[in-house]
């Protein structure tokens, strides 16, 4: 098994700055009469997210030997999409969270109507960014169209959105099974992470074999991400987490920790990391940032 | 000025059936665990809309000599997008309408959370349909990418979504000017209609001159559409309208009728129709369905 030899702090900083700069470029300009809702979108987009999805997208592209510029806009678009899901998840009709990343939730600042619109605005903007990235090159429209189609399936009713729908339905029920939680979490969280990895690979000219291996990596890391989130919800530092500790449990949601216990979750995480690294064993050292990201997703629980 | 010689009833019926059939194909299949939210999406998508946007899309394609099959999926996608805006507009945090097209609004049947998700699900699905339509042909990915980019700008924070944002902000204010209403309505309604016309034209290989003329047609028809809506809100048959007569006025929204009076609106509509027809005067008889649609949008107010 290859072990990551990457200075992750530096990688995070440098690529994080790249993503930050590009997001600022993409959202630059005066919004004229639409300044309220544009400000609402930017409030959440620049609220201090870790940019995991763009980083995964860039690292997957790098693993396939691609230039960062090919994957960057798709990564930024996926961060816009991720932000849209956070804004909507916090709404009173959804999880009803007042804070996010230690700051007031979008709807606490702009009201429910503008927050709802800001979420949809970010979703729409993400597609604009992906399509325009595709139009910029001669051979890239087909790649962009494929990424757009795949991303839509990953975040639509069969994916993120469907997962959130199940989450709402399950919250009202007491007898949710582990299989149901897994299905829900896969749809709600893993599919967008897989889409991020695949988008970076596709934008960087990955072949089908590379794509398949990276997809397996994404699937395992996606599951690990959710298990780690549930562990953090119990043991995490509230300031770091930006939301009240145990908030999922208080809403009556069944988590991996409820089902497997803390030790069971940690042992599962270790196993998942090993499987994720095995999935990308054929890649050379250019996949080390991706491996390091996989490790980071697990390590943050300790 | 060319006068439409089209049997509009027949055209509506035949092309409406084409759209209906394609929408059923696109949404066919069992949703498995996600059946609740998929049912919510289909509840509103098949609630008896007039399919104005797909019909405009098809008619614009026909005007450019295109085959219906080229524009059909883009038209269906725009109907999904239109349905998403209706579901969200009816939500309690927005216009708080209990009924739509004579039936209970989506959130009255499925609850606010699922209705909100169903709206976003339709928006996402629309992009999937457009991207997959692009991937189906060899030369079409670039066309699809352009339509996706344009549509995103038309429905995003600079368009439909931004218009709804202003609508919410203006509802709280008493001193809204006519210029502000025009800007808001253009964003909220006209831009999607323009996008429908342009999508049909682009999918059918329109040249830039044709595109420019059809865009002018779309801009004028978009304005006429909103003026006609305001007139219908005052004089329309409630059963036909599917919402309580005068519901806009009751919510304290300033309408064109408030500003120009009923006669002023009707005279404006006549003028707008003449200008719209003049904009497409260079097109041959294949643009007659488009001309007839323009006339229909105005005529429904009498």
Residue A3 has pLDDT above 80, yes or no: no
For A245-255, give one letter per residue: b (16+ CB within 10 A) or e.
bebbeeeebbb
Separation CA B81–CA A82 (nearest Å): 20
Which of B:160-179 have CB within 8 Å of A?
161-162, 164-166, 168-169
Mean pLDDT (chain B, rounded):
91
Residues recorded for chain B: 302
Residue in B30, B148, B172, B187 to test binding to A, most A beta-carbons within 10 Å: B148
Around A62, how many Cα atoms within 13 Å sit in the side-chain half-sphere?
20
Q: B141: Cβ–Cβ under 8 A, 6 or more apart, which residues? A: A134, A141, A142, A144, A145, B134, B135
Q: Which of A187-191, B4-8, B49-53, B176-180 has the lowest mean pLDDT?
A: B4-8
Instruction: Please compute the mean of the pLDDT values over residues A59-86 and round it to a whole number.
Output: 96
Reported confidence tier of residue B250, pLDDT bands at 50, 70, 90: very low
- Using the beta-carbon criterion (under 8 Å), do B127 and A152 form an inter-chain contact? yes
CB < 8 Å to A152, chain B: 124-125, 127-128, 131
Instruction: Please compute the mean of the pLDDT values over residues B72-90 and round it to a whole number.
Output: 98
Specify the long-range contacts of residues A97-104, CB closer than 8 Å, at least 24 apart: A97/A243, A97/A247, A99/A242, A99/A243, A99/A244, A100/A44, A100/A47, A100/A242, A100/A243, A101/A47, A101/A48, A101/A49, A101/A242, A101/A243, A102/A48, A102/A239, A102/A242, A103/A47, A103/A48, A103/A242
Separation CA B76–CA A289 (nearest Å): 42
DSSP state of B242: S
Rounded to 5 degrees, φ, ψ at B99 are -125, 155
Mean pLDDT (chain A, rounded):
91
Would you state the pLDDT for residue A240?
A: 55
Model pLDDT for residues A168-215, shown as the tens digit of each residue: 999 878 788 888 988 998 999 999 999 999 999 999 999 999 999 999
Q: Where are the domains of chain B?
A: 8-299
Q: Residue B111, SS3?
A: helix
Q: Which tops the pLDDT comparison, B278 or A8?
A: B278
Which of B:22-41 have CB within 8 Å of A?
31, 33-34, 36-38, 41
Would you state the pLDDT for residue B1?
A: 46
Reported confidence tier of residue A234, pLDDT bands at 50, 70, 90: confident
Q: Which tops the pLDDT comparison, B33 or B237?
A: B33
The tokens describing B106, both together, are 């989506």
Task: Convert A41-54 into a string of H (helix), E (strand) and C (coil).
Answer: HHHHHCCCCCCHHH
Reported confidence tier of residue B6, pLDDT bands at 50, 70, 90: low
Crossing angle between the packed helical segments A52-63 and A8-26, to the nearest 10 degrees: 110
- Closest Cα of chain B to A129: distance in Å? 8
Q: What percent of chain A has pLDDT over 70?
A: 91
Instruction: Please compute the mean of the pLDDT values over residues B266-287 and round it to a whole number.
Output: 96
**Run of H or E including A58:** helix A52-63
Q: Which tops the pLDDT comparison, B121 or B246?
A: B121
Would you state the pLDDT for residue B253?
A: 67
**Of A131, A10, A28, A26, nearest in space to A76 by CA:** A26
Residue B133 has pLDDT above 60, yes or no: yes
Would you state the pLDDT for residue A276?
A: 97
Q: Residue B119, SS3?
A: helix
Separation CA A294–CA B94 (nearest Å): 41
- Using the beta-carbon criterion (under 8 Å), do B34 and A187 form an inter-chain contact? yes
Q: Which tops the pLDDT comparison, B161 or B242?
A: B161
Instruction: Please compute the mean of the pLDDT values over residues B247-271 and round it to a whole number.
Output: 80
Instruction: Please compute the mean of the pLDDT values over residues B113-133 and round it to a whole number.
Output: 98
Residue A85 has pLDDT above 70, yes or no: yes
CB < 8 Å to A162, chain B: 33-34, 37-38, 121
Q: What fold is seen in the domain A8-297?
A: Farnesyl Diphosphate Synthase (1.10.600)
Would you state the pLDDT for residue A159?
A: 97
Instruction: Please compute the mean of the pLDDT values over residues A238-267 and round it to a whole number.
Output: 70
For A142-160, give one letter per residue: b (16+ CB within 10 A) or e.
bbbbbbbbbbbbbbbbbbb
pTM of the model: 0.94
Separation CA B56–CA B280 (nearest Å): 14
Would you state the pLDDT for residue A140?
A: 93
Q: Which tops the pLDDT comparison, B237 or B266?
A: B266
Residue B74 has pLDDT above 90, yes or no: yes
What class does CATH assign to B8-299?
mainly alpha
Reported confidence tier of residue A250, pLDDT bands at 50, 70, 90: very low
Helices (H), B136-287: 140-155, 160-171, 178-185, 191-203, 208-235, 238-241, 247-250, 256-279
Q: Which tops the pLDDT comparison, A49 or B178?
A: A49
Q: Which residue of B has its CA nearest to A34?
A: B162
CB < 8 Å to A88, chain B: 116, 120
- Say yes or no: B187 contacts chain A, CB-CB below 8 A: yes
For B114-131, give one letter per residue: b (16+ CB within 10 A) or e.
bbbbbbbbbbbbbbbbbb
Residue A64 has pLDDT above 70, yes or no: yes
Residue B119 has pLDDT above 60, yes or no: yes
Calculate the alpha carbon distances from A169 to A94, A140, A180, A223, B106 in Å. 11, 40, 11, 21, 16
- Say yes or no: A121 contacts chain B, CB-CB below 8 A: yes
Instruction: Please compute the mean of the pLDDT values over residues A24-52 and round it to a whole number.
Output: 96
Would you state the pLDDT for residue A173?
A: 82
Separation CA B24–CA B13 (nearest Å): 16
Would you state the pLDDT for residue A174?
A: 73
Would you state the pLDDT for residue A255?
A: 79
Q: Which tops the pLDDT comparison, B250 or A31?
A: A31
Q: A270: Cβ–Cβ under 8 A, 6 or more apart, which residues? A: A298
């Amino acid at each position: 098994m290859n072990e990551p030899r990457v200075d992750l702090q530096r990688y995070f900083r440098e690529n994080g700055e790249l993503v930050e700069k590009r997001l600022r470029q993409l959202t630059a300009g005066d919004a004229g009469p639409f300044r309220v809702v544009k400000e609402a979108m930017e409030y959440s987009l620049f609220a201090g997210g870790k940019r995991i999805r763009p980083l995964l997208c860039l690292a997957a592209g790098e693993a396939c030997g691609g230039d960062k510029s090919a994957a960057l806009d798709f990564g930024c678009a996926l961060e816009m999409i991720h932000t849209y899901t956070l804004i909507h998840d916090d709404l009173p009709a959804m999880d009803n969270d007042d804070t996010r990343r230690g700051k007031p939730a979008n709807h606490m600042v702009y009201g429910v109507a503008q927050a709802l619109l800001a979420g949809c605005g970010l979703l729409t903007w993400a597609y604009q960014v992906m399509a325009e990235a595709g139009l910029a090159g001669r051979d890239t429209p087909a790649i962009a169209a494929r990424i757009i189609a795949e991303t839509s399936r990953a975040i639509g009713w069969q994916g993120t959105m469907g997962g959130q729908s199940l989450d709402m339905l399950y919250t009202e029920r007491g007898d949710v099974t582990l299989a149901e939680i897994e299905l829900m979490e896969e749809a709600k969280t893993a599919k967008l992470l897989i889409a991020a990895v695949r988008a970076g690979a596709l934008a960087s000219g990955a072949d089908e074999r590379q794509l398949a291996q990276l997809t397996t990596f994404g699937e395992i890391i996606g599951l690990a991400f959710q298990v780690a989130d549930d562990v953090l919800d119990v043991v995490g530092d509230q300031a770091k987490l930006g939301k009240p500790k145990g908030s999922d449990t208080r809403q009556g949601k069944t988590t991996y920790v409820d089902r497997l216990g803390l030790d069971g979750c940690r042992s599962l995480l270790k196993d998942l990391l090993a499987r994720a690294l095995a999935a990308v064993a054929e890649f050379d050292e250019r996949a080390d940032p991706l491996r390091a990201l996989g490790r980071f997703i697990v390590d943050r629980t300790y």
